[in-house]
Structure 1
Amino acid sequence: MKKFLLFICLQFIISGLSAQQRNLSGKIIDSATQVPINGVTVIIKPNNRTDITDETGRFFFKNIAGNTKVLTVSAVGYQKKTYQLDDFKNGQTISLAQRQTQLSDVVITADNRNPYKAISETDIKLRGVSNSQEVLRIVPGLFIGQHQGGGKAEQIFLRGFDNDHGTDINMSVDGMPINMVSQAHGQGYADSHFIIPETIESTTYQKGMYNAEKGDLAVTGFVNFNTANAISSNMVKVEAGQFNTYRLMGMVNLLGEKAKANNQSWYAATEYRYSDSYFDNPQHFKRFNFFTKYHGKLNNNNWLTLSTSTLYSTWKASGQIPESAVNDGTVGFYGAIDPNEGGITSRTNFNAQLLTTLPNHDIIKNQLYYSRYKFDLHTNFTFFLVDAINGDEIRQQEARNLYGYNGSYQHEGYIGNTKVNTEAGISARLDMTTNSELSNTVNNFTVIKPFKLGDITELGAGAFINETFRFSPKFSLNAGLRFDQFYYKYNNKLASDSTLNGAGVYSANNNIISPKLNFYYQATDKTQFYLFLGKGFHSNDTRVVVAEKGLQTLPAAYGADLGTVFKPAKNLLFNAALWYSYLQKEYVYAGDGGTVDFSGRTQRIGFDFSGRYQPVTSLYFDADVNYAHGRSLDDPKGENYIPLAPVWSSTGGITYILKDGFNGSLRYRWLGDRAANEDYTLKAEGYLINDLILNYTKRKYEVGLTVNNLFNVKWKETQFETVTRLKGQSAVDGIAFTPGTKFAALLHLSCFF
């Protein structure tokens, strides 16, 4: 009898504990589009436990305490919602309505593994993206420069690196790579002009080499542009401005309200742009883009996303001009020595993504993508230095097929009370080019002397695992490991190629292991500290790797970030980091000369600071200040500067937001002076430029004015040390530059329906 009574008492105790502790889950969707919202912060009180929704919009709490009374849902750009738990049904779907973005919606939590998340969300929604160049400038501290016409990929600068056109920054859109490896003009060449700015819903970026999911080229960081899965209204936009600049853009839903109710969305967008630009010689720049995307729920466990896009662009370019020729009056500041430069480029993409949720809520993602890419570029950097009769014009061209796959598995579990998130994935991309060419030409197409001609096949495969441990509401740790393997083959069709031993097929392979370790500590509900440690890399051009038989051609990069996200008031946000990076020696393929150059070890140290302030709902201030001190470690002091590496830079602005009436922004970007060569005997001059946007917005239409270079500053957008020779003159070693835009005003009219 005593044993029976003891058993009954134990059952009551266990039942009481079970009643006090239970699990809680739910799903969050956008009320306008019915699409699940990723990255929403969910807080339960008074214990202040947090969770962040996954890509299916789901959140989950295990063993919530019996005294838990309130659930709060907060997301940037959405109305906050609060529920009494007594009124909340477990597994309930929460619908959030969009509203004007406010810094007060930002929540500091150790659950957030990306310290740039809050800034990226607020910036793109408050500042917007007005053109294709602003797509890149949305990243704090990232500067771009165009030096061969509007159709060429921009030169990118970030964290003391001259990334060339993408060598040390990993760029993608909807998970599909933008960078082209072993490209005719340069390694990692990233031309993002096939993205229509109005289709971008958000950006995901992180500086440094600390994310195991990102492999090749992710040294200074990565940027992924996320296009909208659904649009809430249709629009047509017409732009017209100085220098014969015109643009027509349209974006329309292809399915009705019934399809939206069934979680189906399909829209299309297109644009055409023409401009003669601000140079003395008309650029005749033309660009056509088309994009369409379907996003739909196949069943309770599967979401399918399909998209396709195409780009076609042609242009003429004034190119770089010697500073000495401007100084002696040979050519004007906006003139050209060889106005015959220019190019043609095209890219067509197909992207398919399948997101599958298992019965235990684990997530499997599969992605297949394909790109058909053509590139034909004509430039002349040295004029008559090598060939005093015909000139030094070069042609770089290729035709490419790119095939790729990304797959990942995500699991959320617990070890005791420690929350553990596991993510593992594999990826592969196969690049196959036909007739990758570098030739000395006349009149763009007549070949005088070929330097490179061959077919490139490059296969890169990678695997990674990420483990994130939430030991307490204040402390989290992320450990990641990545392995990448590369196979290279080059079919050399040019027996006279000086870097190889005759015509024929050359092959090589290499691999690298990249560990990552990241710590997150939430000191208070207003302050998070983080320490990131990691190893990254960038691959080199196939033509380098096969020439060197794979030796030292996959250099490692090591980095560390110590930073904080600090929100001292509900309308004030700071992000600051001290960082360090070290690069091993490497071989670099010079696409403009077809040669292999050796580069030694480099070291950089710096800091990034970002501030955001919203004193009232309609006013938003932002400022970024960046510093980098970089030096070569294998050269004597005074001769160890890293050419063109940014030192001081800053961007910022003030934005006035009113969705029904006047709104606009006044912005600045400042880049300080920096060394143009190793001993700093040549200087790349800095600049300070201001841009202005003014709009009058109503529910059905918007009228706006965009002004670039508001105060008409004469500035040099890109600068290089270049040995040049004009016809009949002596060679000169000095700065060659491309001028930045003059004052340029552009009007637009948008209609929404």
Structure 2
Amino acid sequence: MSHTRHLHAAKHLALAAVAALAVVAQPASAQPRGVVPPRPVSRVDATYPREANKQHGEVVLGVTVDAEGHVQAVEVMDSAGKLLDDAAVRAAWQWTFEPAQRNGTPIAAKVRIPFHFAPPEDPPHDSVPSPPPPRLAPSNTAEEAPSPGARAIGTEAAAPSAPATAPAPAAGTAASEQDPHTVTIIGHTRPPTRGASDFNIRVGQLANVPRKNAAEMLKLAPGILLTNDGGEGHAEQVFLRGFDAREGQDVEFTVGGVPINDVGHPHGNGYADTHFILPEVVESLRVLEGPFDPRQGNFAVAGSADYELGLRERGFTAKYTQGSFNTQRMLLLWGPQGETTHTFGAGELFKTDGFGQNRDARRGSIMGQYEGHIGERGLYRITGQAFAIDYHSAGVLRQDDVDAGRKQFFDTYDFNQGGNSSRYSIAADLETRTGNAFFRQQAFVIARTQRIRENFTGFLLDTQTPLQNPHSQRGDLIDMNMTSTTLGLKGFGRSRQKVLGENQEAEFGYFARADRVSGTQHRIENATQVPYHVDSDLDSTMTDLGLYGDLNLRANKWITLRGGARADLFTYNVLNNCAVDSIAHPTRDNPPGDASCLSQQDFGRYREPVQRTTTASTAVMPRGSLLLGPFTGFTFSGSIGKGVRSIDPNYITQDARTPFADILSYEGGVQFAREINKVEIVARSIFFQTKVDRDLIFSETAGRNVLGGGTTRTGWVGALRATGSFFDESFNVTFVKSTFDDTHLLVPYVPDVVVRSDTALFAPMPFRIANKEVRGTLGIGITNVGRRPLPYGQRSDAIFTVDASASLKWTAYEVALTSTNLFDSKYRLGEYNFASDFHSQASPTLVPMRHFSAGAPRSIFVTFGVTFGGEG
């Protein structure tokens, strides 16, 4: 086909007029200075819908562009009907921009884009190609934004005239002829980046990669491995850059800034259960690997992760999932029209019989958020959440029992393992701006309950002692219970001044959290399911009061120094309700018997079984990052910082001055960010080292981590994110060596190598239904984990899994097919070496043996969805 025929065919299918952006300047007297609006780098023309029946119309979109130049949200501000609205929205999501800038610093901004639609007609034979659309004109009269991440709302855009071959009238007038529009500033701020290890992750199309829950979104950040020995209602065990963070002890988890980590949890201080977060309402995720930001607080040892909530799809959406092991899920989403993407409601009901034995679960979760404006200079959010789950778990199996056929790969020893959990919370945020100062305040209340029943050792620990009444081994089932209430406040003020020709920023903030926790741990008799021993019974009141200061200093546009210090005061008031559980010299006439909480000291002297302990200490944590660049897309960075992890109340002693562990971390890295041939590329290379003075190591007899010695972690991270018009790829690899400082042996259970790939493909399908477009998506997630070191010089097996999903969307309807563990790999999710006795052998050995928890077999699910009243 000739070049002319190509042009004619394209014009038959293309839009008669395309949208462009042009800024309308306000009168200088009405606006401050310093903001340059976003400028489009690549744009995609909207395709005129065939079924529009030669309809003319103009659709005006409000497009939010983040600080990296990506489209973050699209709202229909002026509608021309669903067909034209949908076409405009689909096109806008594929645009990329040079982000808005405030005095040279990229910020998020919101702009208006009008799309003029005119039906295509046969072009004359002497037609010529249309001129390219104009670029967005910069402006030096826009109002100054308060901070990175703020939105500049306003500035009308004008579309160009229609192509010469189209009979439609001009799509818009010149910018100078339009009425001026007020620029207002409203935004939810994000802290400045801390270098190459600061990952601000847009989920976007990668939401199509299969994920069981919000925790699995962490895999979009490098070096993260998730395992779970405890079932559907048990928090994931997190491995990050050489840390076995267990269920959150070394990672500070937050959602919209509200803490998730449980202080004083009997299963482990810092336990973080993210199952209440619905993955469909996670808009973005910030993972900072390392303690380099003064805003990071307790448990930010390996790093921190903050979930930002939002729902892009407007209207009402209902989805139903049915699949393997009688798994069913009902999901309802509501995004009211005319509100921002941060206003939504969401609810879920879920049930499954689970694979193999004893893995059933039932849960429900409700989340709602409202974002509103206070005039033109303020923003508020109210977020509420309710969650409950009841579940069973299979626990671990001995490898020799599976090899001998005494147990199958997906079996269990103890059907009493499992638990239940609930979480209720409400949070309120307020952001305001006054001149060059920006303020944010947040308050939150959290109510939590948790019960966990686990059996790692079978019938090993309850041996007969001379002081006890005669008994047989009663079983090692651990029953942990926790009830807590959390109150918190946090906030900051940020100010900007121009010094030495550059904008310099200073931020000062505070954090206040109080927890009242009641935690118990009992041992349960196998035959009767009643407690026979108290491991711990603590009523604790803990307070964390923190202050921080952070400076953002620029020597010139290529050299930036960011950092400051944070200081936290930790206070503990712990009532041990079972302070005495042994007697060095019991009396002959009054032996203690099987009582757990004894009421006598040496030789029968009476005492109360309770004891109260109080202590307090302050941790000072300096942190800083130096950034050089960007130079043709490259930014070099170096960071150093101290972190802190508060100590479990079990280890508190009267007036001890250091109820926390100290962490020192430093790294150097380089980041490359640029668009190449219309593909956005972000690549990183990072070398790091972290030292911990008192680490935590898993104990199967205690059922949780216990204090150990010092450790050091050294490693390298490589990451790549590539986004094009029809694909999105995230790939990362981490190599790390974790050793004890005294013996230089490898820290057990920590993976040396973690490789992860997430791929999403999306495009219109080559066929239509009822003359309407069908859009298809394909998502693939690949995980490869090297052989992990185990105690006694052993190594685990490697893990390799592939998950995949495919979906089709037609008008308001959607169907998706998902498969996890696509190739049905029979892998061991967790592996351990320790001694146990599960009564599976007549003469059990007490030599440490390999134990494992089974990974899920191949599972297939189908999802049906429908959206009413959406805008695309």
2:824 matches 1:712: yes
Asked if the contact 2:505–2:551 (Cα under 8 Å) also holds between the matched residues in 1, the reply is: yes
Any residues of structure 2 matched to 1:113-262 within 5 Å, and which?
Answer: 113-115=194-196, 120-121=201-202, 127=208, 130-132=211-213, 133-228=215-310, 232-253=314-335, 255=336, 257=338, 260=339
Letter in 1 for 2:643: G
Residue 307 of structure 1 and its aligned partner are, at CA, apart by: 1.2
TM-score using structure 1 length: 0.84
Match in the other structure for 1:524: 631
2:431 maps to 1:355:
yes
2:365 paired residue number? 289
User: CA, structure 1 residues 362+124, in 2 after alignment: closer, same or farther (shift >3 Å)?
Assistant: farther
> Residue 538 of structure 1 aligns to a residue in which SS?
strand
Whether 1:700 aligns to 2:754 is no
Match of 1:104 in 2: none
1:673 paired residue among 787, 798, 803: 787
The match for 2:861 is: 746
CA distance in 1, matches of 2:830, 2:391: 19
Aligned partner of 2:351 in structure 1 is: 274
Give yes or no for the alignment of 1:397 onto 2:484.
no
Q: CA deviation at 1:321?
A: 1.1
* Structure 1 residues 56 and 434, CA gap change in structure 2 (3 angstroms): farther
Change over 3 Å in CA distance of 1:431–1:539 after alignment to 2? same
Secondary structure of 1:212's partner?
coil
Secondary structure in 1 matching 2:34: strand
- The answer (yes or no) to whether the contact 1:437–1:454 under 8 Å persists in 2 is no
Structure 2 residue matching 1:326: 3-state secondary structure: helix
CA distance in 2, matches of 1:44, 1:91: 20
Partner of 1:600: 709
Decide which of 649, 662, 665 is 1:542's aligned counterpart.
649
1:436 deviates by 3.2
What residue identity is the alignment partner of 1:750?
G
Unaligned runs of 5+ in 1: 1-17, 58-67, 97-109
Name the one with the larger strand percent: 1
- Which of these residues, 359, 363, 370, is aligned with residue 445 of structure 2? 370
Query: Contact conserved, 1:124 with 1:202, CA < 8 A, in 2?
Result: no
1:401-412 to 2 correspondences below 5 Å: 401-412=485-496
Question: What is the DSSP-based 3-state SS (H/G/I as helix, E as strand, rest coil) of the residue aligned with 1:609?
Answer: strand
Residue in 2 aligned with 1:105? Answer: none
Distance 2:177 2:664 in 1: 51
Contact 2:288 2:305 in 1 (8 A): yes
State the 1:113 CA deviation: 4.0
2:621 to 508, 514, 518: 514
Residue 127 of structure 1 deviates from its aligned partner by 4.9
CA drift at 1:630: 1.3
Is contact 1:28-1:36 (8 Å) kept?
A: no
In structure 2, relative to structure 1, the CA distance for the partners of 1:55 and 1:661 (3 Å cut) is closer
Distance change (3 Å), C-alpha of 1:89 and 1:186: farther
Please say if 1:644 is aligned against 2:749. Answer: yes
Q: 2:733 aligns with which of 595, 607, 625?
A: 625
AA aligned opposite 2:496: E
Alpha-carbon distance in 2 for matches of 1:651, 1:595: 28
1: CA distance, partners of 2:417 / 2:477: 8
Paired letter, 1:574: A
Letter in 1 for 2:694: K
Distance 1:51 1:90 in 2: 25
Pairwise mapping of residues 460-471 of structure 1 onto structure 2 (< 5 A)? 460-471=544-555
Cα distance in 1 for residues equivalent to 2:688 and 2:735: 10
Q: SS at the partner of 1:370?
A: strand
**Separation in 1, partners of 2:422, 2:836:** 31
Deviations 1:406-449 (A, max 9, x none): 11111122113121111111001111012533444447951111
User: Relative to structure 1, is the Cα distance of residues 290 and 150 closer, same or farther in structure 2, using a 3 angstrom cutoff?
Assistant: same
In structure 2, relative to structure 1, the CA distance for the partners of 1:422 and 1:704 (3 Å cut) is same
Q: CA deviation at 1:601?
A: 1.4
Change (3 A) 1:139 1:230: same
TM-score (norm 2): 0.73
- For 1:494, the aligned partner's letter is C
Report the AA paired with residue 131 of structure 1. Answer: K
Query: How many correspondences in the alignment?
Result: 694
- Coordinate RMSD, CA, aligned: 3.7
618-627 or 36-45: bigger deviation: 36-45
Match of 1:99 in 2: none
Structure 1 residues 556-567: aligned runs within 5 Å: 556-567=662-673
SS of the aligned residue for 2:682 comes to strand
Shift of the 644–44 alpha-carbon distance from structure 1 to 2, 3 Å rule, reads: closer
Displacement of 1:50 in angstroms is 2.8
Query: Would the aligned equivalents of 1:28 and 1:37 in 2 still touch at CA under 8 Å?
Result: yes
| Separation in structure 1 between the aligned mates of residue 797 and residue 417 of structure 2, nearest angstrom | 25
Conservation of the 8 A alpha-carbon contact between 2:184 and 2:377: no
Structure 1 residues 162 and 444 mapped into 2: Cα distance closer, same or farther (>3 Å)? farther
Q: Specify whether residues 353 and 475 from structure 1 end up closer, same or farther in structure 2 by C-alpha distance, changes over 3 A only.
A: same
Measure the CA separation in 1 of the matches of 2:670 and 2:528: 52
Cα gap change, 1:355/1:36 in structure 2, threshold over 3 Å: closer, same or farther? farther
Q: Which residue of 2 aligns with 1:3?
A: none
Instruction: Give the AA of the match of 2:721.
Output: R
Spell out, residue by residue over 1:481-539, the C-alpha distance to the aligned partner (whole angstroms, 9 max, x if none): 00011001111111434699951211111221000110011141311111111111211
Query: Structure 2: how far apart are the matches of 1:33 and 1:722?
Result: 61
User: C-alpha displacement at 1:596, in angstroms?
Assistant: 9.0
- Range with greater deviation from structure 2 (516-525 or 479-488): 516-525
Is residue 612 from structure 1 mapped to residue 721 from structure 2 by the alignment? yes
1:503 aligns with 2:610: yes
Question: CA deviation digits over 1:322-361, x for unaligned, max 9?
Answer: 1122122221111111122110111111111111222x04
Q: Is the 8 A contact 1:521 1:530 kept in 2?
A: yes
- Paired residues of 1:554 and 1:586 also in contact (CA < 8 A): no
Deviation of the 1:582 alpha carbon: 0.9
C-alpha contact 1:487 1:508 (8 A) present in aligned 2: yes
Between the aligned partners of 2:499 and 2:789, the Cα distance in structure 1 is: 53
Assess if the C-alpha contact under 8 Å between 1:351 and 1:367 holds in 2.
yes
Are positions 1:475 and 2:590 aligned together?
no
Aligned residue among 382, 398, 401 for 1:306: 382
Alpha-carbon contact 1:295-1:306 (below 8 Å) kept = yes
How big is the shift at 1:94? 9.0
Query: Shift of residue 648 of structure 1?
Result: 0.7
The SS at the match of 1:546 is coil
In structure 2, the partner of 1:335 is: 411
Which residue in the other structure is 2:742 paired with?
A: 634
Contact residue 706 and residue 747 of structure 1 kept, 8 A:
yes
AA aligned to 1:70 is: P
Structure index of larger Rg: 2
Matched, 1:724 2:792: no
- Structure 1 residues 508 and 365, CA, compared in 2 at 3 Å: closer, same or farther? same
Question: Does 2:613 correspond to 1:585?
Answer: no
Matched residue of 1:657: which SS? strand
Distance in 2, Cα, partners of 1:526 & 1:184: 48
> Helix, strand or coil: the match of 2:541?
strand
Match of 2:67 among 24, 36, 39: 39
CA pair 124-372 structure 1, distance change in 2 beyond 3 A: farther
Task: Decide which moves more: 366-375 or 492-501.
Answer: 492-501
Provide the rounded CA distance (Å) in 2 between the counterparts of 1:719 and 1:550.
Answer: 36
What letter is aligned with 2:543?
Answer: L
Shift of 1:159: 0.3
Shift, 1:298, TM fit? 2.9
The 2-side partners of 1:338 and 1:714 are apart by 22
CA pair 621-429 structure 1, distance change in 2 beyond 3 A: same
8 Å Cα contact 2:641-2:665 kept in structure 1: yes
Instruction: Say whether the 8 Å CA contact 2:37–2:109 is kept in structure 1.
Output: no
